[in-house]
Amino acid sequence: MPTATYRIFDPLLPAAQAESMLRACERFGPYGMYSQEASEAEIGQGLLQRHDAVMNFLETGGRFGRRDTPAALGARTNYFRESYAYGDDVRLPGIEPFLGYEGFVEAARAIHGRPVIEPAIVYANILVAGQELAVHTDVPEFRGANRKIFPQWLMVVMHHSGLFDEHRMRIATAVGWFNDARGGAFAYYPDGAGSAAATIPARANTGIILDTDAVFHGVDPVERIGAMPEMRPGMRLVFDGDRWSLRDGDREHARYRWDEIRFSISWKAYCFADEGERRAWREHRDDLHLDHILDRLVADLRARGRVNGARPEPTALALLLIDEYVRFPAAEAA
Ligand SMILES: [Fe+2]
Q: Quote the ligand 1 centre to 111 CA distance (angstroms).
A: 17
pLDDT 10s digits, 102-154: 999 999 999 999 999 999 999 999 999 999 998 999 999 999 999 889 999 99
The C-alpha angle 10, 104, 137, rounded to 5 degrees, equals 90
Please tell me the predicted confidence (pLDDT) of residue 55: 87
Please tell me the predicted confidence (pLDDT) of residue 1: 53
Name the nearest CA neighbour of 329 among 175, 177, 143, 199: 199
Please tell me the predicted confidence (pLDDT) of residue 68: 80
Of the listed ranges 24-38, 158-172, 246-260, the least confidently predicted one is 24-38
Of the listed ranges 58-72, 83-97, 170-184, 282-296, the least confidently predicted one is 58-72
Q: Quote the ligand 1 centre to 212 CA distance (angstroms).
A: 6
pLDDT 10s digits, 67-87: 788 777 778 888 999 999 998
Average pLDDT over residues 241-249: 95
Q: Quote the ligand 1 centre to 155 CA distance (angstroms).
A: 14
Please tell me the predicted confidence (pLDDT) of residue 77: 81
Say yes or no to pLDDT of 302 above 90. yes
Name the nearest CA neighbour of 125 among 233, 237, 16, 48: 237
Q: Quote the ligand 1 centre to 251 CA distance (angstroms).
A: 30
Q: Quote the ligand 1 centre to 323 CA distance (angstroms).
A: 20
pLDDT 10s digits, 153-168: 999 999 999 999 999 9
Name the nearest CA neighbour of 123 among 97, 148, 98: 98
Q: Which residue has the higher pLDDT, 61 or 71?
A: 61
Q: Quote the ligand 1 centre to 305 CA distance (angstroms).
A: 31
Q: Quote the ligand 1 centre to 218 CA distance (angstroms).
A: 7
Please tell me the predicted confidence (pLDDT) of residue 71: 77
Q: Quote the ligand 1 centre to 217 CA distance (angstroms).
A: 6
Q: Quote the ligand 1 centre to 266 CA distance (angstroms).
A: 9
Strands 79-86 vs 89-90: parallel, antiparallel or unpaired: antiparallel
Report CA torsion sign: 235, 236, 241, 243: positive
Please tell me the predicted confidence (pLDDT) of residue 223: 96
State the pTM of this model: 0.94
Say yes or no to pLDDT of 257 above 70. yes
Contact predicate 262/181, CB 8 Å: yes
- Residue 312: cis peptide before it, omega within 30 degrees of 0: no
Report CA torsion sign: 154, 158, 164, 165: positive
Please tell me the predicted confidence (pLDDT) of residue 60: 86
Q: Quote the ligand 1 centre to 18 CA distance (angstroms).
A: 22
Q: Quote the ligand 1 centre to 106 CA distance (angstroms).
A: 21
Please tell me the predicted confidence (pLDDT) of residue 182: 96
Q: Quote the ligand 1 centre to 273 CA distance (angstroms).
A: 24
Tell me what percent of the residues of the chain surpass a pLDDT of 90.
Answer: 77
Say yes or no to pLDDT of 333 above 60. no
* CB-neighbour burial class of residue 192 (10 A; exposed 0-12, middle 13-18, buried 19+): middle
Q: Quote the ligand 1 centre to 41 CA distance (angstroms).
A: 22
* CA pair distance 252, 271, nearest whole angstrom: 43
* CA pair distance 216, 191, nearest whole angstrom: 10
Average pLDDT over residues 229-251: 93
Contact predicate 168/156, CB 8 Å: no
Please tell me the predicted confidence (pLDDT) of residue 151: 93
Q: Which residue has the higher pLDDT, 327 or 5?
A: 327
Q: Quote the ligand 1 centre to 308 CA distance (angstroms).
A: 35
